Structure 1
């Protein structure tokens, strides 16, 4: 049986061959979401965490394409939102209110009213917001929703990364106050955990999960019985971006957490974990036509119309000819790939690149198609047997005229007078 990595590689070849002809002067760059890879990643998560108490989720901030969110929902993947816009996208993508976990760190009084009226699962991000919710829930015994406090673990006293955290209430700063909050409010039944500075290793993730798990235990001890029903984690998933083969990634994720928190797997609490990075990263790529090649300061540069990537030194790129066939020249050169606003990739080994070639920029699903990403090119969905028949276009893209119009209201005459 072919490995997971080899299946991804084969599927990518099929996708590029079918979509490379869509790259034209009018559309020199486009996005791709591979549904076969999505399904394989979803199955890996379900196989690794098969227990009923575990709910994998994606965030709309990472993946905002309705056609993809609908696909996730149909396969048992939950959703997390952090803004009013993301909440609307989730609702219009078919998620019912009880399937959405809303972790917005800031809400107006009217937004809080709407959340409580709808009995939505949401988090309270600070003590001032807690006071506002107290006023809205004067008859909290009849409230049908699930409300929690958003906390920042502050797991290590020596780790100053949490100094820059701004989301939620710090456990180390306000532990006693938070215990009092739960004693006085029986309608608080969840903890929403935000890693504002995402952990860089599984051990760091598990340390913060352990800190919150212990806090949940402290709450139950203080109130004298079961109270916390759900723990929601909005980051800290496992992302593989250096190779196509990610079979062991989730196994390691479970092993490290189970080793550091043995009681975690017993199912005392329901867990929702945002696996957006793992579930979307490898399924998304950008195809960009090479407009020019040049050299500068001894570096070979391929110039494309794609936007800069956040970590160009880690970006993986594969080169194809203009018909979508892979270029497998034995001789490799180190290229920088540059877009109109910065580096897409840095020092990537590629066969000789020429104008008109197609570059596949890999592993972009976790950062390119989110609600805040602003990706303006068309996005296509694809399967191994070709384009999706009804929803092949997941987003139509925006023309230069569309983007210029969206910039604001043009009033040159007013400025002159």
Structure 2
């Protein structure tokens, strides 16, 4: 029996309206839990279904989830159950993927700084890996045993240019990732590297993510496709059998709308590379933010409401420790903010310009400046929308602020139901993480 695909989720603002009061009733948001992350399980499953549908014309495709976008084992296990693989970029992420139950054959290891030990472990497990450079291929030569089950690829930088956010653009002329194809002699060296290694069967490229237009991403994929054709022609047979085209679909943070969609992306790919979905090459994708961002939010209590220099300021418990990119790069990562009262109901009233400040001890810890919202007061709540990816799953330990709890939810005819994804970090755990067991270590050196 074919499983019924999940229904498209309601807009994020509607989900928050249903979930926030219930979370307060359940005590998930309270005095000792003033900031919490929430994830919509149905929304995540619907996003995965939309991805699979958009690539339905491709006869051989492995969709992997970029673990860095939500490095939480229950999230990864949910994605594995929904038919995803997992892309990892460190030993820690590989461990999380294995804890989540991904088969090694559905895990792809990417990193520009793999050690020999990391490479050896991946090869022993049968995990696929993409070498970042030609020197790394030399290491794989020495470590790879006959009969190894790992698919091995080479990452190339098509150097097609950058998007609106330089830090998120990975196909610029000087990007640290991959073999720069347009550098003198580089293309010939890549072809020669494949000719010397019959087991090297995959090409990988990733142009960037937020701020990169679909046409730019598609151009990078097209350049990679052309290189695969060139390699296969040079070696005289079909050695390159798959293309890892990365992820990078941008997310709309301006409103509830999902745009661009995965369907928009596949249309752009088809226009740039007409043969991409004909089955000549297996495909691997590595989406992260586009699957999770719209399916999560942060809720935080307003601890104080004050005024400074004529500006109203709401001091909350969500700042740089959870919304790091937004605080440090507000022009590139603006977030929508919602205002709710102490019972979780949307606040009414005339909009007033307010700064939404966080708890971190530096002046720039502002999630939003001069944002027009109903006037916030002590005990109210703010919601940061579209934060299901990266925000609360990879917190910053500034001021030794504890990592917030994360809860999953579903909403049905009976209301909202919750489950714990990650417990809030305790003060004992902060002390242990900060070396409490070795408290006298430095003093010992002074004796």
Normalised by the length of structure 2, the TM-score is 0.85
Q: 1:347 to 1:204 in 2, by over 3 A?
A: farther
Contact 2:208 2:217 in 1 (8 A): no
Q: Give the stretch that moved more between structures: 104-113 or 348-357.
A: 104-113
Look up the SS of the partner of 2:37 in the other structure.
strand
Per the alignment, residue 383 of structure 1 pairs with 410
In the TM superposition, what whole-angstrom CA distance separates every residue of 1:17-55 from its partner, at most 9, and x where no partner exists? 111343222111111111122122222222222233333
The 5 A counterparts of 1:130-145 are 130-137=137-144, 139=146, 142-145=147-150
Contact 2:151 2:201 in 1 (8 A): yes
Partner residue of 1:362 out of 385, 397, 419? 385
Q: Give the stretch that moved more between structures: 113-122 or 293-302.
A: 293-302
Gaps of 5+ in 2: 1-6
Look up the SS of the partner of 2:86 in the other structure.
strand
Partner residue of 2:261 out of 238, 242, 249? 249
Q: Give the deviation of 1:286 after TM superposition.
A: 0.8
Gaps of 5+ in 1: none
Aligned residues between the structures: 410
Higher RCO (CA 8 Å, separation ≥ 6 residues): 1
Per the alignment, residue 23 of structure 2 pairs with 19
In the TM superposition, what whole-angstrom CA distance separates every residue of 1:178-199 from its partner, at most 9, and x where no partner exists? 0000111110011122336865
Contact 2:64 2:107 in 1 (8 A): no
Contact 2:347 2:374 in 1 (8 A): yes
Per the alignment, residue 439 of structure 2 pairs with 410
Partner residue of 1:345 out of 360, 368, 392? 368
Q: Distance in 2 between matches of 1:189 and 1:361?
A: 43
Q: Give the deviation of 1:401 after TM superposition.
A: 3.4
Per the alignment, residue 103 of structure 1 pairs with 110
Q: Distance in 1 between matches of 2:18 and 2:188?
A: 57
Does 2:124 align with 1:114?
no
Contact 1:5 1:245 in 2 (8 A): no
Contact 1:367 1:373 in 2 (8 A): no
Look up the SS of the partner of 2:353 in the other structure.
strand
Normalised by the length of structure 1, the TM-score is 0.90
The 5 A counterparts of 1:181-200 are 181-195=193-207, 200=212
Per the alignment, residue 48 of structure 1 pairs with 54
Q: 1:273 to 1:267 in 2, by over 3 A?
A: same
Which structure features the higher share of helix residues? 1
Q: Distance in 2 between matches of 1:407 and 1:49?
A: 46
Contact 1:381 1:387 in 2 (8 A): no
Per the alignment, residue 428 of structure 2 pairs with 401
The 5 A counterparts of 1:247-396 are 249-308=261-320, 309=323, 310-311=325-326, 312-313=330-331, 314-329=334-349, 331-341=350-360, 342-370=365-393, 376-385=403-412, 388=417, 392-396=419-423
Q: 1:197 to 1:366 in 2, by over 3 A?
A: closer
Q: Give the deviation of 1:78 after TM superposition.
A: 1.7
Per the alignment, residue 201 of structure 1 pairs with 213
RMSD: 2.6
